[in-house]
Amino acid sequence: MTPLLVLFGCLGTLLALMPVAILCRRFSFVSQLVYVTSLMASSTALGAVLFHLLINPTLASSLQLPLGLPWLGAHFRLDALSAFFLAVVNLGGAAASLYGMGYGRHEESPERILPFFVMFLVAMNLVVLADDAFTFLLSWEFMSLTSWALVLSHHRQRGNLRAGYVYLLMAGFGTLSLLLAFGLMAGSGGEFGFAMMRAGELSPGLAGVVLALTLLGAGSKAGIVPLHVWLPLAHPAAPSHISALMSGVMTKVAIYGFIRIVFDLLGSPAWWWSMVVLVIGGLTAVIGVLYALMQHDLKRLLAYHTVENIGIIFIGLGLALAFEANGLNALAALALTAALFHVLNHSLFKSLLFFGAGAVLTATGERDMERLGGLIHRMPLTAFAFLVGSVAISALPPLNGFVSEWLTFQAILVSTELPQWSLRLLVPAVGALLALSAALAAACFAKAFGITFLGRARSQAASLANEVDRLSLGAMLIFVVLCLLAGIFPGYVIDAIAPLTRLLVDGNMPVQAGEAWLTIVPIKQSLSSYNGLIVMVFIVTSASLSAFVIHRIASRKTRRAPAWDCGFPDSSTNTQYTAGSFAQPIRSVFGSSLFQVREEIHMPPQGSTEPARMTLRMRDLIWEKLFAPIEGLVAATSARLNQSQFLTIRKYLTLVLVSLVFMLMVVALWR
């Protein structure tokens, strides 16, 4: 009970900050006040939920507050699942507050950010805590609206208004889907409590419909393809610490919604629904990373890459559904652990990378990678942090991204246990997609880090950049350490996830804490095992040993000279590879169908001094084929409806009468 009360104390503090932020907007201290308080509140909340998760995870404490509808009240509940996700939310919130203390100083209009920032944190906490559909949906919508306001905090910048518009539409669509899903689960009794839904049993067909609606609702918030279109517009538009929260944390709240509804509240849907989730996961992973590779806006690249990671998480969830439907609970626990581990990992390194992108933005005023470069010299600490994030997100050992991907691969390998032929055929194909997306992710971050931080500065702003303040750096370094710790001590994270899998799929992975040398063993030792600590020790030892030996017995002389470049060094920084040219080989391999890439090269006639030109045309087929028609339809319909604002009173009365008669007829027929 105590952690829940502490949590509500923290949320109350955050709520109280909102009026303070609005009332004191004229004073310069308010920004620091809000961030410091929210840092403390989030850290306290983090401590409380970690206490719950690690000390007595099987205990579920609930609380009813007399809020909302008078006969319903608002139900809140803290169990292992919500504790895990609350830890992700509050860790992200605390780090964003710390980062905001430094980053927020450069903000021109803090009053457009601060009130919504605290409300956003509160809303995300409430979604995870909610124990009835009404509170859940209300908090969910609240989370959407506050983040929408934050997306529009720099509303005068180009493109941000459109981003806000698309986001609002997609958020409305998502909430509507979830509303329908809850409506189906509540049944005709109209019981909105999660406890009743858990007890109720849906027919398999209806359960499938609920799953599909949840996939639409929570999936659109998380960013599954093809519902991801709002995400790369909205996430980069917000200030960077908000981008980190939206990409690193809010998408995880959406994943929480999916897990809560599908694994906890819903009975067991038919096994073939797992195929839908697997296909969506695999396609989301590959398409997301391909889109990310084509970007040259650093923050948008990161946002598209979130889509890829959501795909990886959904692959794990799909596998868990498949195993659970066939009663293979231990394997379902493995797949679910992989997905949840990736939830944690992604929240760590994506927040880190967005903080890094924010630091670059503060230092140079640029998000366009074609105008950056060479920042490793000017901003060494930011570069180091961003490098660690890049290695982690590219799933390279010994950092944390690799562990969750390795677990997902292990879950794929044991799927030969599945009895259904179609799943056995599908799963290796999804495995290939996962491997492809992992390789492309490494390419994507070689590009993101290489073009932004290495090479020579491509603009004056980049060549004059200065390292950002210590608080921002501190927030980044915390995540650097956490990425490393989760990578070399994965057994502890897996053990912390075990209560969740016991709760959701009634099975758990073997206890890892007792394994020798902190090895992780997903099923049994003879099958597979991994030890991040030893790999790390090996790499560090052999690297330093070789460096030591060579410096000792061979030469240690070093001389600086101009770059060689095969004898033709060019002083112009334009001859470097750019983000576009770096991605060109991959674009030509993968992009011809997905992006309909057309490259036209115009060479001047011989003897002419005019420059040669290359025109590159790329199309976003998902937007053009799926969303542009919908957008057109919505615009046309609203233009048509717009006329109804200027009718005469007679026409209004007729309209009212006709609709009344219509409604009455519907009711009469229904009875």
Partner 1 sequence: MIIDLFIQFIQMLAVLLLAPLLTGLVRWVKARLLRRRGASIFQPYRDLVRLMHKEVVLADNASWLFRAAPYLIFATTWVAASLVPTFATGLIFSWAADLIVIVALLGSARFFLTLAGLDVGTSFGGLGSSREVMIASLAEPALIMVVFTVAMIAGSTQLSTVSVFMLSPEVGLRVSLGLALVALIIVALAENSRIPVDNPSTHLELTMVHEAMILEYSGRHLAVLEIASSLNLLLYVSLISSIFFPWGLANANAAPAELFTGFIFYVGKLVVSGCLLAVFETSIAKMRVFRVPQFIGTALMMALLAALLMFVTRSL
Written as one string, the DSSP assignment of 568-625 is ---S-GGGS--HHHHHHHHHHHHHHHHT--EEEEEPPPTT--SPPEEEEE---HHIII
Exactly one of 557, 640, 650, 671 binds partner 1 (CB under 8 A); that residue is 557
- The least distance separating partner 1 from the CB of residue 507, rounded to whole angstroms, comes to 17
DSSP β-bridge partners for residue 65: 74
- The least distance separating partner 1 from the CB of residue 109, rounded to whole angstroms, comes to 37
Interface with partner 1, residue 341, by CB under 8 A? no
Exactly one of 23, 539, 636, 660 binds partner 1 (CB under 8 A); that residue is 539
| Interface stretch with partner 1, choices 116-124, 146-154, 227-235, 565-573 (CB under 8 A) | 565-573
- Exposed, middle or buried, 348 (CB in 10 Å: 0-12/13-18/19+)? buried
- The least distance separating partner 1 from the CB of residue 255, rounded to whole angstroms, comes to 24
- The least distance separating partner 1 from the CB of residue 310, rounded to whole angstroms, comes to 20
**Restricting to residues 611-640, which ones interact with partner 1 according to CB under 8 A?**
none
DSSP β-bridge partners for residue 132: 193
Interface with partner 1, residue 279, by CB under 8 A? no
Instruction: Print the binding letters for residues 301-340 with partner 1: x by CB under 8 A, - otherwise.
Output: ----------------------------------------
Q: Which long-range contacts (CB under 8 A, 24 or more apart) does 50-55 make?
A: 50/83, 50/87, 51/3, 52/3, 52/4, 52/78, 52/83, 53/80, 53/83, 53/84, 53/87, 53/496, 53/499, 54/496
**Restricting to residues 415-434, which ones interact with partner 1 according to CB under 8 A?**
415-417, 421, 424-425, 427-429, 431-432
**Restricting to residues 113-152, which ones interact with partner 1 according to CB under 8 A?**
none
- The least distance separating partner 1 from the CB of residue 566, rounded to whole angstroms, comes to 6
**Restricting to residues 438-457, which ones interact with partner 1 according to CB under 8 A?**
438-440, 442-443, 445-447, 449-451, 454-456
Q: Which of 583, 563, 33 is nearest to 289 (CA)?
A: 583
Measured between alpha carbons, how far is residue 623 from residues 229, 310, 599 in Å? Answer: 7, 19, 21
- The least distance separating partner 1 from the CB of residue 542, rounded to whole angstroms, comes to 4
Three-class SS state of 360: helix
Size, binding site for partner 1 by CB under 8 A: 93
Going by the DSSP 8-state scheme, the letter that residue 262 receives in this structure is I
Going by the DSSP 8-state scheme, the letter that residue 193 receives in this structure is B
Q: Which of 52, 592, 574 is nearest to 290 (CA)?
A: 592
User: Packing angle between helix 29-55 and helix 2-23, nearest 10 degrees?
Assistant: 170
- The least distance separating partner 1 from the CB of residue 630, rounded to whole angstroms, comes to 33
Residue 29 tokens read as 């201290």
Name the residue type at position 606: Q
| Interface stretch with partner 1, choices 58-66, 131-139, 236-244, 523-531 (CB under 8 A) | 523-531
Cis, peptide link before residue 428, omega less than 30° from 0: no
Interface with partner 1, residue 414, by CB under 8 A? yes
- Exposed, middle or buried, 398 (CB in 10 Å: 0-12/13-18/19+)? buried
Toward partner 1, which CB reaches closer, 7 or 438? 438
- The least distance separating partner 1 from the CB of residue 554, rounded to whole angstroms, comes to 4
- The least distance separating partner 1 from the CB of residue 14, rounded to whole angstroms, comes to 40
Interface with partner 1, residue 665, by CB under 8 A? no
Measured between alpha carbons, how far is residue 554 from residues 460, 544, 550, 560, 663 in Å? Answer: 40, 15, 5, 19, 91
| Interface stretch with partner 1, choices 98-106, 349-357, 551-559, 593-601 (CB under 8 A) | 551-559
Interface with partner 1, residue 649, by CB under 8 A? no
Instruction: Print the binding letters for residues 153-192 with partner 1: x by CB under 8 A, - otherwise.
Output: ----------------------------------------
- The least distance separating partner 1 from the CB of residue 344, rounded to whole angstroms, comes to 19
Q: In angstroms, rounded to a whole number, what is the distance separating the alpha carbons of residues 355 and 94?
A: 13
Toward partner 1, which CB reaches closer, 272 or 409? 409
User: Packing angle between helix 273-294 and helix 579-594, nearest 10 degrees?
Assistant: 140
Exactly one of 2, 460, 544, 596 binds partner 1 (CB under 8 A); that residue is 544
Interface with partner 1, residue 199, by CB under 8 A? no
User: Packing angle between helix 251-259 and helix 298-325, nearest 10 degrees?
Assistant: 10
Residue 592 tokens read as 């011809």
**Restricting to residues 377-406, which ones interact with partner 1 according to CB under 8 A?**
377, 380, 387, 391, 394-397, 402, 406
Number of neighbouring beta carbons within 10 Å of residue 530:
19
Exactly one of 278, 583, 591, 594 binds partner 1 (CB under 8 A); that residue is 583
**76 CB-near residues (< 8 Å, 6+ apart):** 4, 8, 62, 63, 64, 65, 126, 129, 130, 131, 135
- The least distance separating partner 1 from the CB of residue 364, rounded to whole angstroms, comes to 17
- The least distance separating partner 1 from the CB of residue 555, rounded to whole angstroms, comes to 5
Toward partner 1, which CB reaches closer, 421 or 670? 421
Specify the residue for token string 């991605």. Answer: 583
Interface with partner 1, residue 647, by CB under 8 A? no
Exactly one of 559, 640, 650, 671 binds partner 1 (CB under 8 A); that residue is 559
Exactly one of 206, 573, 597, 622 binds partner 1 (CB under 8 A); that residue is 573
Toward partner 1, which CB reaches closer, 122 or 433? 433
- Reported as type and span, the H/E element at residue 77 is strand 74-78
Interface with partner 1, residue 571, by CB under 8 A? no
Q: Among positive and negative, which fits the CA dihedral 317, 319, 325, 328?
A: negative
| Interface stretch with partner 1, choices 208-216, 243-251, 308-316, 540-548 (CB under 8 A) | 540-548
Toward partner 1, which CB reaches closer, 71 or 517? 517
Interface with partner 1, residue 581, by CB under 8 A? yes
Q: In angstroms, rounded to a whole number, what is the distance separating the alpha carbons of residues 461 and 370?
A: 12
Interface with partner 1, residue 534, by CB under 8 A? yes
- The least distance separating partner 1 from the CB of residue 613, rounded to whole angstroms, comes to 19
| Interface stretch with partner 1, choices 23-31, 264-272, 374-382, 601-609 (CB under 8 A) | 374-382
Toward partner 1, which CB reaches closer, 177 or 410? 410
DSSP β-bridge partners for residue 601: 614
Whether 328 and 274 have beta carbons less than 8 Å apart is answered as no
Interface with partner 1, residue 527, by CB under 8 A? yes
| Interface stretch with partner 1, choices 53-61, 72-80, 470-478, 569-577 (CB under 8 A) | 569-577
Q: In angstroms, rounded to a whole number, what is the distance separating the alpha carbons of residues 433 and 155?
A: 38
Exactly one of 58, 188, 555, 593 binds partner 1 (CB under 8 A); that residue is 555
Interface with partner 1, residue 598, by CB under 8 A? no
Whether 60 and 78 have beta carbons less than 8 Å apart is answered as yes
Q: In angstroms, rounded to a whole number, what is the distance separating the alpha carbons of residues 231 and 224?
A: 10
Residue 239 tokens read as 């200030």
**Restricting to residues 468-497, which ones interact with partner 1 according to CB under 8 A?**
none
| Interface stretch with partner 1, choices 177-185, 308-316, 527-535, 658-666 (CB under 8 A) | 527-535
- The least distance separating partner 1 from the CB of residue 425, rounded to whole angstroms, comes to 6
